Copies of this chain bind each other. A is one copy, B any other.
């Protein structure tokens, strides 16, 4: 049976919970604020679509001034290419014949497609897959302190850049990094070092792609970057608030939940379990905040239940059936759980959009 998604005009109080909802005004403000900042620093902006996975929202970002989009997987990029986006950076090592074939097919139809690599294995796979096809633009992924993927140091970056430049079908197009939080100075130092070394071996480095939402408003501290990537800023969440990148009134995503049980005076149970909030803690000790209930702590989740400790709340405690709004620790992962996303303005549903790239892990 089809889920009864709400019609446009429905008040949120009538929406079945648990349900993430997006505040249109806050969304528009978040998009404008980040773009204005980037524009004021002459820094091209490339939003990461992982946060929303919705082409219509990406279109709002591009219409505001973004130069293109950032995807993490080929399957995500396929969804957005299908929706007409023509400047896509895939910040992932693409491996295996099936996925490489789809990447190459994408490269034939997207005006500007770039991908990253951080190993000889990746480069060999990309080169073989391209064959006689349209040359593929490749950036070297560099680890500047985040400890995830990426070559270690500028010397290794140059060696890999030379491999790319020498590989049939590939074009070395620059450098990409996903930095550590607070890592602006390290990124700038790295880029300057790597660019000098690349110049010394005669390689152009037109693209220097920096990223991250937690340091979004420090992007100008990396003048050597030619673009900045960020995702979470579009909705914001508790982690962005902690990072000082937004205010409480900038939370475009909230999760509607209902109190389904009040077993004791100090305990409420909500219907927003890990299938709605996810278990992402991101360093927090509980699973989101409830702005309308100061002192309440979401202390544990099972799939369909959130247990809330009300010990530190006042006397006005919600009864069974009360609808509450939760600010999640991490919005991006919530988007991956729902087939559609409900948007509203002032509590009235404005649009219900398919989360077109939900589940695209390939």
What residues of chain B lie closer than 8 Å to A152, measured between beta carbons?
Answer: 263-264
What is the CA–CA distance of A101 and B14 in the complex, to the nearest angstrom?
14
In the complex, the answer to whether B98 meets A4 with C-beta atoms within 8 Å is yes
User: Could you tell me which residues of chain A, from 282 to 309, have a CB within 8 Å of some CB in chain B?
Assistant: 302-305, 307
What is the CA–CA distance of A302 and B261 in the complex, to the nearest angstrom?
33
In the complex, the answer to whether A302 meets B148 with C-beta atoms within 8 Å is yes
Instruction: Check if A68 is an interface residue, CB within 8 A of chain B.
Output: no
Instruction: Check if A96 is an interface residue, CB within 8 A of chain B.
Output: yes
Oligomer: number of copies:
2
What is the CA–CA distance of A150 and B264 in the complex, to the nearest angstrom?
9
In the complex, the answer to whether A119 meets B361 with C-beta atoms within 8 Å is no
Question: Which of A29-37, A72-80, A167-175, A195-203 has 4 or more CB atoms under 8 Å from chain B?
Answer: A72-80
What is the CA–CA distance of A276 and B202 in the complex, to the nearest angstrom?
42
Which residue of chain B lies nearest to A258 when distances are taken between CB atoms in the complex?
A: B95
Q: With A274-B280, A279-B278 in contact, do A261 and B150 touch (Cβ < 8 Å)?
A: yes
What residues of chain B lie closer than 8 Å to A3, measured between beta carbons?
Answer: 75, 360, 362
Which residue of chain B lies nearest to A301 when distances are taken between CB atoms in the complex?
A: B280
In the complex, the answer to whether A261 meets B118 with C-beta atoms within 8 Å is yes
Instruction: Check if A326 is an interface residue, CB within 8 A of chain B.
Output: no
Chain A, residues 231-268, CB within 8 Å of chain B (1/0): the string is: 00000000000000000000000000010111110010
Instruction: Check if A149 is an interface residue, CB within 8 A of chain B.
Output: yes
Chain A, residues 1-43, CB within 8 Å of chain B (1/0): the string is: 1011000000000101110000000000000000000000000
What residues of chain B lie closer than 8 Å to A280, measured between beta carbons?
Answer: 274, 279
Which residue of chain B lies nearest to A279 when distances are taken between CB atoms in the complex?
A: B279
Interface centre among A50, A92, A125, A302 (most CB of B within 10 A): A302
Chain A, residues 304-317, CB within 8 Å of chain B (1/0): the string is: 11010000000000
Q: With A269-B149, A303-B50, A307-B148 in contact, do A93 and B278 touch (Cβ < 8 Å)?
A: no
Q: Which 5 pairs from chain A and chain B are nearest by CB?
A: A149-B261, A121-B320, A279-B279, A93-B260, A1-B78
Interface residues of A (CB under 8 A from B): 1, 3-4, 14, 16-18, 50, 72-73, 75, 78-79, 82, 92-93, 95-96, 98-99, 102, 118-119, 121-122, 125, 141, 143, 147-152, 258, 260-264, 267, 269, 271, 273-276, 278-281, 302-305, 307, 319-321, 332-333, 336-339, 359-362
Jot down 18 A-B pairs with beta carbons below 8 A, ordered by A. A1-B82, A14-B98, A16-B96, A92-B260, A93-B260, A95-B258, A95-B321, A121-B319, A121-B320, A148-B261, A149-B269, A149-B305, A151-B263, A274-B280, A274-B333, A304-B361, A337-B337, A337-B361
